[in-house]
Amino acid sequence: MAAQGNADFDLFRTSEEHDMLRESVRGLAEAKIAPFAAEVDEQGRFPQEALDALVAADLHAVHVPEAYGGAGADALATVIVIEEVARVCASSSLIPAVNKLGSLPVVLSGSEELKAKYLGPLAKGDAMFSYCLSEPEAGSDAAGMKTKAVRDGDTYVLNGVKRWITNAGVSEFYTVMAVTDPEKRSKGISAFVVEKGDEGVSFGAPEKKLGIKGSPTREVYLDNVRVPADRMIGEEGTGFATAMKTLDHTRITIAAQALGIAQGALDYAKNYVHERRQFGKAIADFQGVQFMLADMAMKLEAARQLTYAAAAKSERVDGDLTFFGAAAKCFASDVAMEVTTDAVQLLGGYGYTRDYPVERMMRDAKITQIYEGTNQVQRIVMARNLPR
Ligand SMILES: Cc1cc2nc3c(=O)[nH]c(=O)nc-3n(C[C@H](O)[C@H](O)[C@H](O)COP(=O)(O)OP(=O)(O)OC[C@H]3O[C@@H](n4cnc5c(N)ncnc54)[C@H](O)[C@@H]3O)c2cc1C
């Protein structure tokens, strides 16, 4: 079982419990998720095998507190789960990652009733959760959103389009940010739980993407969707603050995904260079190749330490979490792009083909520099929150 909530773990060492968790997730990922990773990518289909295996092992939403039937895993344990799944299949790692992203607004700001109603089914594996912030015209400037929620008696009526929503259509529950007071910009945005079955909810066609092809990304259409007022998460006007607070914690899960993708590529390349022979010897014997592997491992370890430090800060909700969350996501995703690109290079022409997994890993790595805020946006966030 996942490591239980524990704010005291060492910043730079994982505990025995975390190590055991890693070992068991790695075993599960290699046995039950890796065999389908290439097919899921090739066919652009949802990794149902991964969802089934993660639910059976109670690893699909480990962050859900025990009080609501969850494993109550701490932030580092959640990172480890995502990292190990991403090491074999980045698309599948979006199951635990986006379950946290979608539901964290409820965990952080929801009423007891909302928590009991929505976290229980998530913990049981009966429902997944998506997060609906972005819109066609509001990406980096998310506060410029147009989706509206208008109060009508004891309900709100939602209208608008949310774009790029991960796991849309598969998830039962959606945290939707919508404008309740257009005069107040970010302070006039509120968050709601919308259910897939609510009348007026529908989905666009899956996007045709460069990578993470097994993770459905679709538009969510809200056409006069009427929800009870008690589905609002927190007070009216606090939705944008909740959305940003959520990202402080969940950018660390994207860093984890980046670490896993990079580790998968490094592991593959490390083995390959011992098998491939040129000039009468293994290419691993060339110093030029050794130095590339050394750089890849060095950058990856630096990214891992920063990510684990950020996870410790997430667990304790430290004052400098915003900086660390952005820094971990930005640094680890840049490292994942570099390491996967170098892995393709180390496999030469073979690396450029779909017969080997490293080109998939390189394509999958790219998204980690874009979502939950582009790396330019992370730099804006860091610059505004520099450590003292
Ligand atoms: C596969 C995928 C899954 C996603 N999943 C979700 C999801 O589940 N939920 C959700 O809400 N969103 C999701 N997103 C949306 C994602 O978070 C946005 O795509 C991202 O925030 C960037 O917004 P944009 O695409 O509109 O780019 P834009 O904001 O249009 O940016 C275009 C370029 O301009 C740069 N730029 C913009 N403003 C500035 C600035 N001030 N300074 C410097 N550079 C700037 C950006 O860095 C970028 O390089 C997903 C996106 C993708 C592609």
Over residues 155-168, the mean pLDDT reads 98
* Coil vs helix vs strand at 388: coil
Report how many helices (DSSP H) and strands (DSSP E) the chain contains, helices first.
12, 10
pLDDT higher than 80, residue 380: yes
* CATH for the stretch 129-237: 2.40.110.10
CATH among 3.20.20.80, 3.40.1160.10, 2.30.130.10, 1.10.540.10 for 16-124: 1.10.540.10
Mutate to test the pocket of ligand 1, among 140, 218, 372, 376 (most ligand atoms within 8 A of CB): 140
- Kindly tell me the burial class for residue 205, based on how many C-beta atoms sit within 10 Å of its own C-beta (0-12, 13-18, 19 or more): exposed
Amino acid at position 153, single letter: G
Q: Do the domains 240-384 and 129-237 match in fold?
A: no
Ligand 1 atom closest to residue 166's alpha carbon, by position in its atom list: 8
Reported as a single tens digit per residue, the pLDDT across 175-222 is 999 999 999 999 999 999 999 999 999 999 999 999 999 999 999 999
87 Cα–ligand 1 center, Å: 24
Question: One-letter amino acid identity for 191?
Answer: A
List the CATH code of the domain at 240-384: 1.20.140.10
pTM confidence score: 0.96
Residue nearest to atom 26 of ligand 1 (CA): 139
Nearest-atom number in ligand 1 for the CA of 102 is 8
Instruction: Share the mean pLDDT of the chain.
Output: 96
159 Cβ neighbours under 8 A, 6+ residues apart = 147, 148, 150, 222, 223, 224, 225
Catalytic residue among 83, 135, 315, 372: 372
Question: Which amino acid does the sequence have at 24?
Answer: S
Please give the backbone phi and psi of residue 160, each rounded to the nearest 5 degrees, phi first: 155, -175
Distance 214 CA to ligand 1 centre (A): 20
- Catalytic residue status for 112: no
Asked whether the predicted pLDDT for residue 9 surpasses 90, the reply is no
User: Residue of the nearest CA to atom 12 in ligand 1?
Assistant: 134
Give me the residue spans of the domains in the chain: 16-124, 129-237, 240-384
How many angstroms separate the alpha carbon of residue 336 from the centre of ligand 1? 18
Residue nearest to atom 17 of ligand 1 (CA): 371
